[in-house]
A and B are shown apart, each in its own frame.
Chain A
């Protein structure tokens, strides 16, 4: 169930009938625009569980129109300018949560310091969706088939969140807790993604999608470092292989331990428990994950 639609189909429909007719008009909802992060907290506190945050809206609005989700109110955070943009500091790159996919794709800073994101964002949907979708929205939505959660795993990113109780930093490996579920508390807002600058690193990315812009059947975002022909560091972030983006630590460990690609591919079975869906069985996904590992790692090794 990698596509947002299938994931969302797990939610009860508004009439409680699991075979209910899906429709293309949203149920009535209220709308309010938040002027600041603090304003958004206040609105979240006021409206409770019936509220949803609206960022780029590229997953939320289709879900509303299909009546797969029927919140009472949308709190629009998309005009909070403080949450947008890329900042480079001596040791890290900080990406505001409302930075749009198209901005990432056009950013020379991202190209220089986090090229994996450029590779991945180019595969996210279509230009119209990239013009509105945001990195924070994608991460907070935690779609298991989305590219960006897997990228943050591969990049070992730190996710900055702020709530009325204060700010905290969540490691990407602790952020994605389940199908469309994250470690965010109900009143917290993801404000930025921070990635360490890793000058001597190499990245790789590949996904197998039936059509350009479709959710992948399986995808891999990889990041690491090679010294004297040996992997000193490697993180393999898989997506569309189960309920959430997943780090393949066993396979990566085989390679950093000096093992062969074939051994690493075999170790994937300890890392991934892929799902079955209309596109591919779990076994086919395992097979395709192995194919991607061989291809991506070989590409990274030849680039290093």
Chain B
């Protein structure tokens, strides 16, 4: 094995370095948007639609205007003069359509929770008091609620100008699908149902927008993952030039994709700040978050697999239907998840025959868009559910069928049936490692022994692939101004300290720590001497931000390249000062040393002193450059792919339908691991969110489109008490496209967790002949399947 520059003796790559922000955050000294208070600031409370679909016939704000502290009450019509509507489509998602969306409803409401009126007051409490006094008459319209009903011609069309409720349709056909099914010995055909859920962040979405009339500039403090994207969009729709908008994303309390979208209420706040020429603050409360944040999933997938008796998978076929609410979310759209489902089904397996269709439909529910794992949990649950059921039909062990069909580890580079290009994956090495971790034969023996005593335990597997490090193929080619590249600027200060400005952002996952480790390693300085600046469009390079598991792979590589460039500059200066050839020098632990032997020649602090304060001592034709900037975007592959496999061991109480998670194992391959602890916790956190979808989380709607469990008592997030120990291990196949080789780890946990839980439940219930293909696996669903409820 050859050594890369990342293998320097003073490398922080591969070390669980404590996160630099940890002490500040745990001591309560974080600065979240909700902590901000500006002079002359007003607070906004939104009156939201109580109906899923209705005409607004009358608004009477007279009594509310007289309430204490009220500054202004603004309707959707009034705000339209300050903000143009947007349409959430992308050119490369051919045929995707949506309707213009305004910050607040005008004339008609299309989901329960849609903002209708903004009440601005001196305090949030006063705004809420006044909001209660506003009278709005609605004339109810029949809602489209169920995805199955959306395409029924008897149901209303949500946007008359679009003609129907079909937002997007995509078909894909690869190989010889009909012939492959015809030669299959067993065919399994099932309908997989995935409930709608949402991403519950610890910090609700929050924004403070501040229009400075003197500067003609809008400063927006926002809990966002993508500051430059928001800069572009706010400027575009408020009629400003981009330089007139500054986005600041300081501490952000969790995101999971929830905070990468453009929200009607955020746009309303930006427009209100312009309208009032005062700072305006909005902090989502937990109840409105349930109907104002994006929801995720909501798929019904009719799916089919053909397999021959020797265990070879002959073909996959899926027909996916998904509901996205009344608008495709701007600017990333609400068709990407469905598109991913089509791309990813069958992905881990060497099966060339694949047919897919997806349809994305409008409905009168909260908007749906990208949330952690985008499409992966759906595709993985369908694929792995089918593979397990196929194995059951032909009497084969679930491990054996995977062993037979997973793409061989020496088959790369190769492509999937849907055309995804894989550089290097490690399905078989991952499977081997997983089986050793969980001691599979012993678990099967325990399962059999307990089954004889009426205790029903199950073992489930889920292999998966994960799309990471997207280049422009995700959004840029579709016309969205969402940067595919990221940048880093690294400078040496006058004391030898290093500052890195990066365009990626931090929402609690530790991306700032990753950047510090990379820069410290690239430069050869102690990590304590590296400070990372992020989340400020005025003070960072232009870039995409942190989403799609791209922070380490793209932002990390830019930081590495910038750090190496600065190192070269420093050594050039050191060579001049020391009258040495720069190539014979190195930087170790904050000092310039002889590359050969390591003898210290000068501290970086001394070098910086000379460069900044005594440049007169340098040769007249020499100018030191102690700041270096680099940008990076992967070019060879449109996306990187990671892979892995998860397993679940659980017990089903067949009298009560309760599922108890006993253990969970993950082996994943995210390429180079920069910080093992952060990667493992990303995996575990992702698994927990997948387990939430598997067992607990569900946005429940009644037939009138009312979300009926929109509170933390009735919407069940996964909590520590119910979570199993999650064992994480790795196989490392770095991408050769970058020097670092990191591929991203943010979503792998979510991709496979629900799939292996479903498979484990079906494994536990095998003696009852029960096969459940629906999540969440709530007790009543299991009891019903067992004929006990």
Contact = CB atoms under 8 A, between A and B. Distances in A.
Given A21-B50, A278-B709, A211 B716 contact: yes
A3 interface: yes
Interface in A218-234: none
B788 A287 contact: yes
A144 B423 CA distance: 59
A20 B721 CA distance: 34
B697 to A, nearest CB: 11
A284 B788 CA distance: 8
A158 B445 CA distance: 53
B783 A287 contact: yes
A303 to B, nearest CB: 20
B599 interface: no
Contacts of B42: none
B36 interface: no
Interface stretch (B91-99, B127-135, B564-572, B733-741): B127-135
A5 B287 contact: no
Given A4-B713, A288-B656, A22 B287 contact: yes
Interface string A281-299: 1011001100100000000
Contacts, number: 84
B714 A5 contact: yes
A81 interface: no
Given A284-B783, A291-B656, A19 B50 contact: yes
A66 interface: yes
A3 B286 contact: no
Given A24-B286, A278-B709, A284-B780, A210 B788 contact: no
Nearest to B722: A211
A21 B716 contact: no
Interface in A1-51: 3-6, 14-15, 17, 19-25, 27-28
Nearest to A21: B48
Mostly, the B contact residues are: loop
Tier of interface size on chain B: 35 or more
Given A21-B47, A211-B722, A27 B131 contact: no
A214 interface: yes
B722 A212 contact: yes
A291 B655 contact: yes
Mostly, the A contact residues are: loop
A288 B653 CA distance: 12
Interface string B48-89: 101100000000000000000000000000000000000000
Interface string A180-222: 0000000000000000000000000000101111110100000
A281 B780 contact: yes
B32 interface: no
B619 to A, nearest CB: 66
B789 A284 contact: yes
B714 A210 contact: no
Given A5-B714, A291-B655, A25 B789 contact: no
15 contacts: A5-B714, A15-B132, A20-B50, A20-B132, A23-B131, A23-B287, A210-B696, A212-B722, A213-B721, A214-B716, A284-B779, A284-B780, A284-B789, A287-B789, A291-B656
Q: 8 smallest A-B Cβ distances: which pairs? A: A212-B721, A19-B50, A24-B285, A284-B789, A291-B655, A5-B713, A15-B132, A25-B125
Interface of A: 3-6, 14-15, 17, 19-25, 27-28, 66-67, 208, 210-215, 217, 278-281, 283-284, 287-288, 291
